[in-house]
């Protein structure tokens, strides 16, 4: 039925054209942004998930930076530790060569040993990165509980979100107490010295030294401080043995009064024990370095996985959208033509009235 009041064909064509234009706008937006879900109105659930995961990925990026900073700190400490190990080996060699030497030659050897000791202190002090030094520390705690134990260094290694949405952080802990070589804190703060400045007693005979070392180790294992352990070690040695007090890898003087070849021999044993402790400390740093490297690799893989997962939820398929764009453009042209044809039918009715 032809009507001059209502052009049904034109209304239908207009509705179809509006729908096509709306789809065309949506497709063009997807192509321009690269997302099929760019706003909450596109798909509230997917948009919410993607927003949360992007935020988590940003946090993981910060974790990656923290791991990089932590790796630099550990690498610096590890480099210093290796140089100290090499130097302590030279000191051991100098001590061995001093056995049986004349007083004049021992003085020359002592000069070399003193220079090597200063070099070890320099290595430890220089092993600082971004204000952190795991080899040379300064105890400042004077209030209770003052046990002299250095706090573990913590490196943020992971950002975790549970199924309930609760957030937690993971850390790689470095036992600085086991890696410290020097402690330059005040006497009131220092309860446990470092590996190189820890002062003990050296005896002239292997038997006395063994009795001392056994009691000292037992006291340390029981939680005693260095000072208390030293007292316990001395108490375990009977009689009036020949000894030298306050000996450390950083405080060796083969020219001091009372230092005999037997004492120097025991100093060699002490330095050998120090080398063993340094090796253990290097192992702590090496294990931390390995853990950091593994965590960095995992974190990067996790970030890539999250990116892929978010992409599957919200990214637009550009091949599909491009094909759809072409089809909608054709539909738009046909819709315009259909609307034009529908409107022309009204013009035909008006023409009939004019001709009549």
Q: Is 153 helix (H, G, I), strand (E, B) or coil?
A: strand
Distance, CA of 75 to chain centre: 11
Tokens representing 15? 């509705």
Spans of all domains in the chain: 55-198+256-300
Q: Could you confirm whether domain 55-198+256-300 is CATH 1.20.1330.10?
A: yes
In order, the DSSP letters of 104-147 are HHHHHHHHHHHHHHHHHHHHHHH--BTTB-SSEE-----SSS--
Per-residue model confidence as pLDDT tens for the chain (356 residues): 556 556 777 778 788 878 888 877 777 877 877 888 888 888 899 889 898 999 999 999 999 999 999 999 999 999 999 999 999 999 999 999 999 988 889 999 999 999 999 999 999 999 999 999 999 998 876 445 556 678 889 999 999 988 888 899 999 999 998 999 998 877 777 778 889 988 888 888 888 988 999 999 898 888 888 888 888 999 999 878 888 888 888 888 899 888 889 999 989 989 999 999 999 999 999 999 999 999 999 999 999 999 999 988 888 877 887 888 788 788 888 778 877 877 776 666 556 555 55
Total-model pTM: 0.78
């Amino acid at each position: 039925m032809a009507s001059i009041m209502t052009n049904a064909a034109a209304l239908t064509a207009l509705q179809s054209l509006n729908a096509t234009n709306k789809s065309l706008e949506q497709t063009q937006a997807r192509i321009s942004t690269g997302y099929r879900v760019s706003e909450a109105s596109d798909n509230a659930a997917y948009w919410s998930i993607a927003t949360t995961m992007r935020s988590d990925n940003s946090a993981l990026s910060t974790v990656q930076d923290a791991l990089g900073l932590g790796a630099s700190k550990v690498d610096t400490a590890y480099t210093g530790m290796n140089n100290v190990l090499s130097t302590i080996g030279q000191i051991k060699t100098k001590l061995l060569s001093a056995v049986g030497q004349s007083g004049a030659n021992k003085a020359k050897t002592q000069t070399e040993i003193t220079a090597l000791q200063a070099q070890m202190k320099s290595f430890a002090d220089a092993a600082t990165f971004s204000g952190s030094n795991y080899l040379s520390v300064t105890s400042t705690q004077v209030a209770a509980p003052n046990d002299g134990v250095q706090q573990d260094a913590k490196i943020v290694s992971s950002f975790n979100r549970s199924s309930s949405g609760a957030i937690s952080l993971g850390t790689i802990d470095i036992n600085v107490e086991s890696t410290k070589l020097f402690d330059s804190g005040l006497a009131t703060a220092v309860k446990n010295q470092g590996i190189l400045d820890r002062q003990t007693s050296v005896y002239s005979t292997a038997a006395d030294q063994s009795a001392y070392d056994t009691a000292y180790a037992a006291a340390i294992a029981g939680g005693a401080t260095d000072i208390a352990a030293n007292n316990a070690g001395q108490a375990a040695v009977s009689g009036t043995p020949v000894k030298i007090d306050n000996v450390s890898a950083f405080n060796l003087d083969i020219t001091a009064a009372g230092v005999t070849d037997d004492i120097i021999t025991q100093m060699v044993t002490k330095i050998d024990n120090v080398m063993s402790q340094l090796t253990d400390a290097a192992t702590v740093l090496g294990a931390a370095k390995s853990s950091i490297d593994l965590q960095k690799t995992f974190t990067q893989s996790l970030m890539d996985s999250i990116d892929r997962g978010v992409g599957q939820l919200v990214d637009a398929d550009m091949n599909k959208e491009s094909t759809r764009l072409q089809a909608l453009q054709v539909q738009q042209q046909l819709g315009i033509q259909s609307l034009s044809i529908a409107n022309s039918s009204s013009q035909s009715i008006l023409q009939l009235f004019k001709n009549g």
